[in-house]
Structure 1
């Protein structure tokens, strides 16, 4: 079985901290979905879905799983079993054959175990971003330079997590509009006028704020992996993109003590270690999922600090906060901040994937219900 450490037939060797090469995994392949589908066809999905936890997988992948600055362990992968071979065959083409290592690297990337810098000899940082703090996080988030800059003009930098939501929503809307024939925009609820006002720096209506966050909600509710970003790399899932772009905005603000050293590695004396250590992370040296944990707490703190006034026109911060409080992040995150961070856990991802596959008739109700129950236990503060 691929990528689940519970079977005990691999050897892990710490060889390198370099992330998987993004260009090599930029194919439109979602390993989580294809693996669960193939195990289900072989009546092995129940065993696959219950063979490990997010913690056990992190121990398999990282050299220091509890550290936000953990490096990836290079692992000698086992010979693929029958469902895994079928999965590889189903996603391989003559032009783009996929092997076991590719599938492994894709899953590691999608689940947020890599860092900001992208190992690719062909990529050159866009001129507009070359000297911008947090440029690698902007690229990793797949936010184009004009949307990145306009979000600052529109929403400011005082609330980096909230500004990140609107930047990502605008980027997602642009991508959806580009992929949809204009004749279908109206019937599919795609508002090009909202994007035009955002990018053009026009006054944003209250409806515009709500529309963008509702649009983002749709992306956060599903698991969508394997697409190609605006920079030609494998695109991160939406929750991890939120963390990355929020980090980029935070890097525009001053730090009491710079958390990164000149080589972009974390400074042990000043960089936060996550969890209860509230010092700022060195975002360039932190994994995507560690940054998403930071983002989750940052968003809740930003929302908690904004209080609606009884009289007078609402401030920009109040207009930004209102849609977020009623969004899925607001509903699950304000009562329990760690709930936002948990959306990147394997158990939650598998619940989303099996839910989609159940609709398509590719997994049983038992498997989908079991995966959903595991994820719900997390929302109740329980570990599987």
Structure 2
């Protein structure tokens, strides 16, 4: 990891990344430098969000990853306004010639034809239904969803087609769609995960600035559980030296708020994320920056990242083993280690769309 990457230490209010470092596909790079006027450390002010249309050709993306529990996803948005500094999806923005840093959380794309594409692909004669993970690359309930309502409309399609869906979010906005998710869950067609990284409001604000506060996420779990929707808490990512001391308290809190299962993912640092994380650590927790990076490398065989299947989610070595054991003991104590009930695929049916609103009658 290049420590020279931590140069553009501007404070963009409401944003997670410290800089807009150049992506790996660009031929030219740019760096901030001190010109003697003392402006390099100035507060850079508010960075506005830009929303752009993304006309997709397909909406269902398939994967063959052996360490992921689903083989297909639907992502209505690219980029994510939540601004989580650790987000594994950040490097995907470099495919567009944009930065994995501030561009990822401020220059967003929405798939305006997502609903039509989903109907078309589900209606193909050779389509075989399996669980669709909705919004797994970037959060389907990020702030722009309030106005765009793409996730809501996609859920309405899945509801009408009686298609199984899994959702993972760190937003309280998912409560808006309980009227769809609850009957689907009752029919064995839906499950929900809520991601929570820390109970420390101050740390959360720095690390995931536009996501719901920790308490809002706990309240969301309670609202979902009270509606009869099984809730899994994802304590992700666990960052050694920063939030790993919270494992037990986090799990107790989510259990108290209705979560019946829990999982975790260790911090991953592929591509540009390694430098973005270092910048963030130096800016926000300089006293712990070196320790965090050294612990990450210890769990990755001395490297910043190891993409080996199964290892990439958990890491290896003494620290990774200790975290695994602590997590396992905690969920066993809280009775949160039950196997996942498979969602149903036998209820699937193709709905004829005659130009009006589809009937929602799960």
Higher helix residue share: 1
**TM-score normalised over the length of structure 2:** 0.29
**TM-score normalised over the length of structure 1:** 0.27
